[in-house]
Amino acid sequence: MKKKILIISGGISKERLISLDTGNQVAKELRKNGYLVKIIEPNSKLIGAIKLFKPKIIFNALHGQFGEDGYIQSILETTGIPYTHSGVISSALAMDKILSKKIFLKNKIITPKYISYSFNKTKSNLVTQIRRKLKFPVVIKPINEGSSVNVFICDEKDIFRKLKHLSEYKRIIIEEFIPGREIQAAIIGKKKLGAIELKPKRKFYDYQAKYNPKAKTEHLMPVKLTKKKYEELMNIAMKTHKLLGCKGISRSDFKFFKDKFYLLEINTQPGMTKLSLVPEIAAFHGINFINLLKLILKDASTNK
């Protein structure tokens, strides 16, 4: 009998299109390899569809808000069916950039300095605060978005103009800009999967650099680091994965500058599209797409 896998993709976040792409890529590969697959949106019919289909495992292919912030996970917990990736608490912690940074700092993981900013507060002393605590340029971004959605690098002269792009959010994070190399490291379960370096043609590895093939971001593997530095990188990624209680795959995003790794954030549900990094890292280390998916499914069934 074919193993039934229910894939949840789409959703209402700003990463909806990426989620749909992830869901379709995963479904195509699983069907090709003998699985019985159904894709569904996370709407009011979700629980009914789960009960009707009776999947062995639920593959969470959602990205962004409501998909990787603990919300859908809390719903899936009520079904008693194993689901992929991290659980409620670890998803919520990882998605909240301020909460996760506090955990990083408490555990001596280097991360860029930051301040939180609320749009209902006066902005008269913001520039002074940034000069004193961070210095320009700075990075501004929502606290709970992924895929570099609404991320901007700002100088003193354009900070308020760019803040207007984020005015839909109640609170954002303002972070010191760290130059240097963009390196990302992936963990699956208890295994250090590997790392990749990115050389975007754009100013930084933003949404367009990630998902627009025309952006022509250069992907480099193996990452040119000494053996000692590479081990340090992967150890930080594993430490972060464990600290937040992540399951399945996580991908930690770093800047490497002046011989130090700065952890920007950890992503508990990396994309599985043709342009996604985790499948690329896995392939470089001899794990093809179907075997990567099998590892994710196995982790779900043994850890929930």
Domains of the chain: 4-84 (3.40.50.20), 93-110+179-303 (3.30.470.20), 114-176 (3.30.1490.20)
pLDDT value, residue 213: 57
- Give dist(CA 192, CA 202) in Å, integer: 29
- Give dist(CA 194, CA 292) in Å, integer: 13
pLDDT value, residue 304: 46
Sign of the alpha-carbon torsion through 68, 72, 74, 78: negative
Question: pTM value?
Answer: 0.89
Question: Which residue type, as a one-letter code, is found at position 39?
Answer: I
CB atoms within 10 A of CB 265: 22
Q: Which residues of the chain have pLDDT under 70?
A: 1, 120-124, 146-148, 202-215, 301-304
- Give dist(CA 150, CA 165) in Å, integer: 7
- Name 254's Cβ contacts closer than 8 Å, sequence gap at least 6: 182, 183, 184, 185, 233, 236, 261, 262, 263, 264
CB atoms within 10 A of CB 135: 12
pLDDT value, residue 143: 87
| Positions marked active-site | 15, 147, 211, 251, 253, 265, 267, 271
- Give dist(CA 189, CA 301) in Å, integer: 12
First to last CA, the chain: 23
pLDDT value, residue 197: 97
pLDDT value, residue 48: 94
pLDDT value, residue 122: 56
pLDDT value, residue 146: 61
DSSP H or E stretch at residue 17:
helix 16-32
Give Dmax over CA atoms of the chain in angstroms.
Answer: 66
pLDDT value, residue 211: 46
Asked if residues 47 and 98 have their Cβ atoms less than 8 Å apart, the reply is: no
Asked if residues 35 and 68 have their Cβ atoms less than 8 Å apart, the reply is: no
